[in-house]
Chain A
């Protein structure tokens, strides 16, 4: 039972354009969401997060949008740079639980072409 789904295994964009990575979730108890970037043979790097009380959070080139009614979130990267090429993981948390564990999607491989 996959509670966090990233339906696009890969995405390819041109340098300077917008990258949009999507994530859907099924557990209505999730109320905190995070995006991580991961290079091969390294650990995930935290990028940006959003609480369910908001519908948008922005940090530099990264913006996360949350649509609670659709149980959908997306990460926008503008402008995309070749160094952004990595696997991006969406993760979700039920902060009302006692363990704060993250549930991850399977990831989307982003390739930014020069």
Chain B
């Protein structure tokens, strides 16, 4: 059973471009979470999704950020018009039961 997959692992974007981060949950997991980790910080919750539904996006900035988990395909975290402050590691986690969350390797976004 493959683990949580994230791609790309590294992403470099210039200010003003769009960033798309993809996450494929573990087989059989229907709950997906996105977290962000800034340098020297713990992970911070952004959004919780189930298939075709956003359950909680309270940790996600209101502007420029969006997330989806379509019926088919991976979950996508989209950041429009990136700024330097968006540079961080973005982790996706999936869960079969809402308790143990299993994390992917992360996408390291660098905004130049």
Contact = CB atoms under 8 A, between A and B. Distances in A.
Q: Chain B binding site: helix, strand, loop or mixed by DSSP?
A: strand
Interface stretch (A14-22, A54-62, A69-77, A92-100): A92-100
A46 B40 contact: no
A43 B48 contact: no
A42 B48 contact: no
Contacts of B44: 104
Nearest to B101: A102
The interface size bin for chain A is: 20 to 34
The interface size bin for chain B is: 20 to 34
Interface string A90-113: 010101001111111111000000
Interface stretch (B61-69, B79-87, B92-100): B92-100
Given A42-B105, A43-B91, A101-B56, A34 B45 contact: no
A91 B4 CA distance: 19
Contacts of B45: 101-103
Interface in A1-59: 4, 32, 34, 36, 41-46, 49
Interface string B98-112: 111111111010000
B42 A45 contact: no
B48 A99 contact: yes
A72 B37 CA distance: 24
Interface string B1-31: 0001010000000000000000000000001
A44 B41 CA distance: 13
Given A89-B43, A107-B42, A45 B99 contact: no
Contact of A99 (B58, B91, B108): B58
B60 to A, nearest CB: 11
A101 B48 contact: yes
Contacts of B43: 44, 89, 91, 102, 104
